[in-house]
Amino acid sequence: MKRLFLTLAMLSTIFAAYSQQKKPIAKKTKKTPVTTPVSSDKLQYPKTQKIEHTDTYHGTTVADPYRWLENDTAKAVKDWVTAENKVTFSYLDKIPYRKDFQKAIEKVYNYPKYSAPFRKGEWFYFYKNDGLQNQSVLYRQQGLTGVPEMVIDPNKLSPDGTTRLSAFSLSKDGNYAGIGLSKGGSDWQEYYVMDTKTKQNLSDKLEWVKVSGMAWQGNGFYYSRYPKPEGSELAAKNENHQVWFHQVGTAQSADKLVFEDKNNLQRFHTVQTTEDEKFVILTISDRSKGLDGNAVYYMDDFKGRFEPMIQEITNNSYGVIDNDGKELIVLTNDGAPNYKIVRFNTETSAWKTIITEKSAVLTNATIAGGKLFVSYLQDVTSHVYVYDLMGNLENEIQLPGPGTASGFGGDKDDTFVFYTFTSFTYPPTIYKYDIATKKSEVFRKPEIQFNPEDYETKQVFYPSKDNTKIPMFITYKKGMKLDGNNVTLLYGYGGFNVTLNPSFSPFLIPFLDQGGVYAQANLRGGGEYGEKWHEQGMKLKKQNVFDDFISAGEYLISEKYTSKEKLAIRGGSNGGLLVGAVINQRPDLFKVAIPQVGVMDMLRFHKFTIGWNWIADYGSADNAEEFKVLYGYSPIHNIKEAAYPATLITTADHDDRVVPAHSFKYAATLQEKQKGTAPVLIRVDVNSGHGASNTQKNIETTADIYSFIFYNMNVKPVFPQ
């Protein structure tokens, strides 16, 4: 099974789940008392030490008085985090309906959730969460009607349920499985090998794995790892990404080094194998040089040497979907910003386009059952087509409606594939598509107490500052009045070619049920309209993203969905940067801000872990022109003495993607400069990472965010008893 995904890593995803319609039951409601939020002048923030530290960038001296907060292992930093958390949780504890929000989220989230199955021989594997399990459990069954048996239960791997099954990859014969585990939310993984007949782990243990897959070939697999980091494993810069081959049943010390590049330490080197295992594909990217594309090499039939398909890294991307004999089928944006599919002949090095670029964006392509399943995005909604392997169109798959379809993976001998369809009011439903009859049928519907007829979603196109039309989805309960008095949560991302697709989240239901409006803006910098859309929100054009988000807020106000006193904004990672930047530029427009795990120091982000990988999107302070732009919007460096919205900053101690120092320094600066009465708090989760490390932490964080929003808007929620 080979899949090609065009979007990579920083995205903070809204959790999707599954449901079926049930009639709502009339219940008594519980009224909560009206309370007045605690103002910032009554909060006693920890006294954060300031030091004399400056850096000079291209003749500009920049102060960094909270540099000491970057040292994540220092006792002083740990003490500061403890003191800040004490203030934050003391504040949250005073919100009378905080536990009610948590109970409401737990109730709606507590239903069985399944993944689409994937096949290996006669076995079908799938993930299931009974409801509130911290981690989903991996099962398998013989055939589609067999009795499920448990394969791996990650909930038993740590006392607090924060060890995650981050990878599971079966060998071609299905006799072995590579298993990846991540602890406490870290991006670091440990790999193990299971004998699938006995479901027992062998002695194999591989460490310091990051940005890697498991590419099986025979009784071994290729994987990528770093040398053991010096200093803090959660903050030290990651360099010298190496490709190794591991033979099942041997120690990591016996692994064979396949590829490294000591002359270019800030590159990613990842490997995949074709389904028949005759080709090994090496993909090389170097975003630290500001290049957004990749080089590709291939090794044919165990020859032991890589040949170039694309020798140099440029801004063009190439992804091998699979092979058809001696030809590789490749998805690329070379000369096609919306992507096309080509064939590369490994014997003659000839290229041939088989599916040309279209006005819609080609987002994903898979091969299963001898067919190409090609997914397009038209105004942020999915359209999926079936082609033969020479690029001849056979049919479009009829989807239930506007929304997001994903999946379609499989092997070449499959007769059917699975896919999942979802939208904001359509809980993810698994469909089985028969390749011969070209028909879909529901394979598994979710069982959640949710009636989609009670809610409404509309897509609007609003003008940004430069009059570019920006799409946005708005979801709310039917019957809502456009009187400008609705609590509204505006969410955005805007970067890294990432698309915010319409999808269902049970976490949103309690918010919507309290009369809340959820708005999701598809900002420039994302992948909604291909590479051109992405480029309009990169590097020197990053301000377009902030303008798009600010304009989204102004649109919601002008159309009477909400007002400045009822508008909250939220974003994570690159979206956390977005929130930090826009409240600096328009603190008057928003009542509440929720920046999560944000990139807040735009002059130093490339100094930590894999931050150098983001230079292709952001640029670098090492470049004079790019420094000027970065310094002009960097959240930490543009906080003035002003009245800022009520702000709840969230991060976690094991976030080794966007290190928590970003949020630490940002919180200290914002607390220092806040001249309004609204609180500025930082919530630092323990044993968690860039995303919540388990279900319980996700529920608790979401409940705290909703409580903080309603509390600071003086809105009284009403809960069923």
CA-CA-CA-CA torsion for 172, 176, 177, 179, nearest 10 degrees? Answer: -140
The alpha carbons of the chain give a radius of gyration, in whole angstroms, of: 25
644's tokens: 């800022």
Catalytic residue among 246, 654, 662, 690: 690
Tell me how far apart the alpha carbons of residues 82 and 278 are, in angstroms, rounded to a whole number: 54
Q: What are the CA-CA distances from residue 488 to residues 37, 482, 631 (Å)?
A: 18, 12, 31
Catalytic residue among 573, 620, 663, 688: 573
90's tokens: 């003391």
Question: Is 606 annotated in the active site?
Answer: no
Question: Is 690 annotated in the active site?
Answer: yes
Choose among 545, 706, 659: nearest CA to 185.
659
Q: H or E stretch including 215?
A: strand 215-216
Pairing state between β 567-572 and 488-491? parallel
Residues 6+ apart with CB under 8 A from 11: 493, 496, 498, 573, 574
∠ Cα 660 666 672 (to 5°):
140
Asked whether the beta carbons of 583 and 649 are under 8 A apart, the reply is no
Asked whether the beta carbons of 520 and 28 are under 8 A apart, the reply is no
Asked whether the beta carbons of 36 and 714 are under 8 A apart, the reply is yes
Q: What are the CA-CA distances from residue 406 to residues 116, 211, 356, 384 (Å)?
A: 10, 22, 22, 9
Choose among 673, 691, 669, 695: nearest CA to 682.
669
702's tokens: 């979401």
Maximal CA-CA distance, the chain: 76
Residue positions annotated with a catalytic role: 573, 690
